[in-house]
Structure formats: structure tokens, C-alpha cells
Amino acid sequence: MTVKLDKKRYVPIVRSRDAELKGFIELSDKVKDSILPVIEFTKSRRTKTNPNGAVAVCVAKVKEGLGDRFFIADVTSMEALSSAETDGFLDPSNSFQNWRAFVATQLPLTCVPVVHLTDPFDPNSVALQAAALIHHSGYIAFRIPPGYEHALQLAALLVATLGSLERCIVICDGGYVTRGSLPAMSSDAKATLQIFAKPLLRAVAASSFPSSVVLPDYGGDDYGKFPLLEVTLSEDVKSATSLADVVHGDYGLIHPADMLGTVTNWVPRVDVPLPREVYYRRYRRDAGGYVYAARLALADPAYQPIGCWADANIRDAAAGNPQGRSPAHWIAVRVNLHITRQVERLT
């Protein structure tokens, strides 16, 4: 099968928890064909038949949802989504032997594995992982922060180990971006990505979606609208002449940080991602909940119809027949609508 991963223009990062994965799996075939997703494997939902939350359950869902399409494989470091199994994948012993074994035995050949980095930087571990993992699909990937202090050393090591960067995907991952952090993140991302000359693909990724939409500078109790700073970030990075090829990445409009232990007051909310901003309607269950929120979201002049699973969900809810009434379901709707919208923007 001939693949042209260097032609992909969007790299969404999706964790394999149920809510995000549901929204991702419900994407149309056309959208799935257009993207190169990073699947960040997490524990699966624990049940009587799956008491340990086996990652294999998530792997099976990804395989079913993606078919023979390529994806980048990583593992979560978020405590809330981790287990003894995922922690084992991040064990640096013997150059991440557990991760390499998982890739070799449980992931399809359409998986581009991430090479894990350590702090302090371990060149021997990187070289061994790169040389071993590249045989899986023919490609490897790296996620590094903007301003990564070992970027020069990493790039030189990869050229020495592999001969070139032409089979490497480099994702400069900024995590959570705010109005205040955006200028420095963009400057650092530009400096970092310029070091990796002529890789197969290089991308910049971040998420501006907050841990709570009612935080200052975001929105009010029943309505809010704020910009997608991840779009601003990638467009600014791409404005540099030497970085015009950089690919847009984001977290599928999910907050990127671990919220373990955070207690929130659940209020039914319908989020509507647009190309460069997002708005929401939010109403308590005794004030109409998802039906009223969807009705007002759909009636908003800013609403842009787009044929996808999420759009149908909003319309059904507005008509009084929501397909789901849980926060997880509406997270899936947000992920599905956002990724579909970004593909439309980028193609």
C-alpha cells in the first residue's frame, strides 16, 4: 500500500478514553482519510470482564475505527488515565523495552510509534529505540516541547542513526496555550522546528480549551465564546518562510492537562466549534439541559451547518430527542465536530 504521510495537513491528538474515542470513531471516512492522528493510549473503562482496564480494549477499538489508515501511537502520562500497564510502557529500562514489545506485538503495521525521550536526555536510548521501532511501519515519530533544549542533539543523533530525517515525524507539542503564553510558545516552536530540516513531516500542536469554560476570559454561566489559540499558533508558525510546510495539530478541542482530583459541577453544555473559535450554550437540567442548550446553539447566527455525526446530534437534541444526556457523550460530539471542522478549514 502506498502512503503519503507527508501530504497530511492535520495531526489531531486523541486519547483513547471512551468519550474522545467515540467522537473520533464517528468521523466520516473522508475526514479519517485526511488526517494523521496521534492516538495516545490510555487504560480502558474497567468492567467485570475487564477489571484491569486493559489497553488491548482500546487497541481493538482504534483498529476497528481506523481500518488500514495510518496513525501515530503514543501512551498517556496522565495519572487519571493511567494504569500499571501504561506506566510499564513508560518505564525507561532497557531503552523502553516494554513499549517496544507492545508496539511489536499488539499494534498494526499502520502504526507509527513514538520514540520516548528521557530527562536527562539519553542518546543511547533514543538511538536504540529509533533503530528498532522504525522497522515496524517504516516511520517513527517524536513529540517534543517548544524550546526543547536537546533539539540539536536529537536531530544530529537521528541523522547519524538513520542517515536522514526523511522517515521521521516531529511534533512540537505545546500542551495548554493561553493568550499570555502564546507569543513565547510560537517563538520557541519556530526555533525548535527549524532545527529539524527536511523530516517526513513536522507539526505544531496545542490546545486552548480550558479546564472550565467559566474561567475568567472564557465565558459566562449560560453562554461563552472564545478563540482557538491553537489555530493562531500554527498559522503564526507557518508564517515563517522556512516553516511553510508545518502541519496544524491540536487536542481535538480537549483540555490537555491532567485534571485528576478536580471536582466540577456538571452542567449540561453544548459546544459548537467553528474554524477559529468555539461557543457554547450551558443550562442546568431543571432549566432545559441539553435540549434547550442545543436549541439555542443551533439557532445562534454563528452556527455553521456541516454534515457529520455531531451536527446530527445537535439537531436531534434541539428537536427534543438527544442521543445522549451524559457529559461523555457531548465531549464526543465536540471532538467529532471540531475535527470535521478543522479538516474543512485545512483542505
Taking only the tens place, the pLDDT of each residue in 123-180 is: 999 999 999 999 999 999 999 999 999 999 999 999 999 999 999 999 999 999 999 9
Distance CA 252, CA 331 (A): 10
**CA–CA distance, 178 with 170 (Å, rounded to integer):** 23
What does the domain layout of the chain look like in residue ranges? 5-265
- For residue 328 the three cell numbers come to 461523555
Residue type at 31 in one-letter notation: V
Give me the mean pLDDT over the 223-237 stretch: 98
Share of the chain above pLDDT 90, in %: 91
The kind and range of the H/E element at 73 are strand 71-75
Cβ distance 304 to 274 under 8 Å?
yes
The pLDDT of residue 287 is above 70: no
The three cell numbers locating residue 282? 450551558
Q: What pLDDT does 46 receive?
A: 87
For domain 5-265, which architecture applies?
Alpha-Beta Barrel (3.20)
Task: Find the farthest-apart pair of alpha carbons in the chain and give their distance in angstroms, rounded.
Answer: 63
pLDDT tens digits along 290-300:
999 999 999 99
pTM for the full model? 0.96
pLDDT of residue 327: 94
262 band by pLDDT with thresholds 50, 70 and 90: low
Residue 1's pLDDT is: 42
256: its cell numbers: 490537555
| Average pLDDT in the chain | 95
pLDDT of residue 293: 96
What does residue 211 show for φ and ψ, rounded to 5 degrees?
Answer: -70, -25
Is 324 buried (19+), middle (13-18) or exposed (0-12) by CB count in 10 A? middle
User: Pairing relation of β-strands 168-176 and 201-207?
Assistant: parallel
CB of 38 closer than 8 Å to CB of 72: yes
Q: Is 4 exposed, middle or buried (0-12, 13-18, 19+ CB in 10 A)?
A: exposed
| Per-residue cell: 7 | 501530504
Query: Taking the CB of residue 121, how many other CB atoms lie within 10 A of it?
Result: 14
The predicted structure's pLDDT at residue 67: 96
Task: To the nearest 10°, report the CA torsion of 51, 53, 58, 61.
Answer: 20
List Cβ neighbours of 11 (8 Å cut-off, separation of 6 or more): 35, 36, 37, 38, 72, 171, 201, 203, 205, 247, 248, 249
Residue 260 has pLDDT above 70, yes or no: no
DSSP letter, residue 141: E
Strands 38-41 and 71-75: parallel
Report the amino acid identity of residue 146: P
Looking at residue 154, its pLDDT comes to: 98
First-residue to last-residue Cα distance in the chain: 23
Whether 114 has a pLDDT exceeding 50, the answer reads yes
